[in-house]
Structure 1
Amino acid sequence: MKLALIGGGGVRAPLFVQAALRRAGRIGLDEICLMDVDARQLELAGTLCQELARREGVATRITTATDAATALGGADYVITTIRPGGTDGRIADERIALDIGVLGQETTGAGGFAMALRSIPAILDYARLMADLCPDAWLINFTNPAGLVTQALRDEGFERVVGICDSANGAQRAVARWAGVPDETVITELFGLNHLSFTRSATVDGRDLLPDALADDDFLDGSVQRVFEHEVVRRHGMWLNEYLYYFYYAEKAVAAASGASRGEEIKAMNARLLPRLEAANDAGAALDLYFDYERERSGSYMRGASQNGAGANGHSADDGEGYAGVALDVIEALSGGKRVRTGLNVPNAGAIEDLRDEDVVEVSCHVDACGIQPVHFGPMPERQSYLVKSVKNYERLTVEAIRRRDRLLAVDALVAHPLVLSYSRARPLVDGYLEAHAAYTGEWA
């Protein structure tokens, strides 16, 4: 089996490779090809990943390529985790939004829209190459905003595509730890959209443990639910995706971002990391430096989200192997391993009754050698459905606007988003983003 990691020079690539190498024997993994357009970062990532392979004692080859055709040729699975425009693009997204008084977070609201402007055309180009070079391969997308990118791919007719997110299965992992049982014994009901999902139940041996877990202050404070007030979680009676913080505490999120933005924090951390890696005496020392960086980065995740002075303080406790674990579970199941149930971004196909069949949703799915099948959920509860439906309308408009390069439709899309809701904000946002990212967006009408 050959895996191609598009965006393989990214700072999270070694985490994916480490997880993949630990499953190499089970999935028959012969090669991991790291592909990136940034040759400097790709060389550093390749060195780290080759050291990981040496430590794991596996025969899997770690190769690198700056040419997409080399990476995609003969690939069985392709994981896309790219950031067109780099960290500077992310910073521009955040600052343009904050100057207008709205959130610029890279997946939610105006920042997610700006990221989609750059991500969707780039991922579609890779998908078209795949159609020529590895037509039977699965594309597993982690590029943000994951739901929008997956929707655009499906709308263009690419069927062997699935979107993944490491927060989709947060309730399963948290309840499993709380109950002291293996993750796979907890059966959850997930519904919604990427970074806007809810978990209605978490069942073990036929008993729903979620109500008791949500009633436990220690459970809430020991998981990412700590970004919400206890009362808010309990009024919903569900596990809330942590990114709902940006909707339910919108003005606090904007205020918290008024200092150094998340993009600026990451840029500063990366600026310290890369020279240290280059100056390291050997690959082993470089790898130790890298893991120190990852602990710092994880510990600063959603640090500005707080209730009663207690911030989120990282998410490593909830995410297991992160996006790598989700992707590898899917790969293993599709390749003939054991059937898994996991939260994925897939076409709705009737799973959520009050959304369209072609809508990409985040929902519990069964995965095996026959493919990916969403689990029927039924109609959404009213308290949650209004927000899901509003944001899905924004997503439909955004994908169409990017396809047509239609400026006015893009304004309509942002007006439809609950975190914008104003032509006087949407117009300058669209104009600002198209100007800032003209090298990636091309000419718009």
Structure 2
Amino acid sequence: MAKLFATPSPREQRWIKRFLARETVGGVLLLIAVAAALLAANTDLRTGYQSFLDFHFGLSALNLSVAQWASEGLLAIFFLVAGLELRREFTYGSLQTLRTALLPISAAAIGMLVPALIFVALSGAEHRSAWAIPTATDLAFCLTLLAVAGRGIPSPLRAFLLTLAIADDLGAIIIIALFYSATVVWIALVTALVALAIYGVLQHIGKCPAWLGIPLALIAWYAMYRSGIHATVAGVAIGLLTNPHAREENPSDVESLESFLQPLSVGIALPLFAFTAIGITVSMDSISSLPSDPLARAIVIARVIGKPLGIIGGAWLIARFTRAELNSEITWWDISAVGILAGIGFSVALLVSQISLKADAYQSAASALLLGALISASLATAALFIRGRHHRSRDTAR
């Protein structure tokens, strides 16, 4: 009988420890960036902060503002790392077989579907096109909170959270590509696909040195941007096409790229994007108006209630209608704690908000995301502390 949340292999455990360490630091930097942006937007620094966001630089064809560079450029690095993680998971990790991939993918899919449906039901017709805002999980924030409050949590549950968040990233990428792209410029799109195809073939045959791979990746990114499809899609495609197999004693291209880019992603790309995206004006009037705002109310309820319900329900359905059973180290209370934790969504949610909403509605959405993240984080901290204490007591009694 298959085990839900199986204990990771030694190789998986080593990778998870390295990944958690980096993501935890990234989560702290992300919190600092959010605090700095809110401080700048709500003090005398406001004018300078806005001028910084609006400052344009780059070549004529890429003369973008700082905020645009953060969204189209820096986030492409984040999604490239997400693509590398997915490629590794599809090859060696918990997504390599249908049996092991079924649970996290199902939990992620239902965990995206339920909050999306709640959002559509509550947000009103004007904002229904922004239905994807409450769907994605913020891995850096979740892992930071897990490290702080989840001492004693079993490793299979940590591995499940990691795989769930990676599957969530894949879902978010697909949603952005399919539902939030402008009118497609086909020549640019074909150029991007050709560059990606060449990169993929060279990676497959093991003949893709950096001097060739980097220009191909940049061409794919630029052409994807010009095509009207969000440039982050090129990032994840490059990650998925990178060769995951080691050659002799050398690390694989996936391992090498991930080792180099992940610190840039969690230490620079995500914090800078958050700094440029979350600079909203916070006042007593804006806070008091959130409960009466259908958009804000829909986001908070979908994230705080819908996301955990979807994840817990998805995992339960797999256990109920397949022959799978829970790993002996964990219980459904542990899964519930992780479901609550996954209600924290920020980076990708801000990106979807930018793409799908007008400026005034974006302010409301960003405020709601902050409030929802605070509520989910508070509930998750309590749940993780209780479950961690339970597991520590059980281990001591053995």
Q: Could you tell me the TM-score, scaled by structure 2's length?
A: 0.27
Q: Which has the higher contact order (CA 8 A, sep 6+)?
A: 2
Which structure shows the bigger proportion of residues in helix conformation?
2
Which structure shows the bigger proportion of residues in strand conformation?
1
Q: Could you tell me the TM-score, scaled by structure 1's length?
A: 0.25
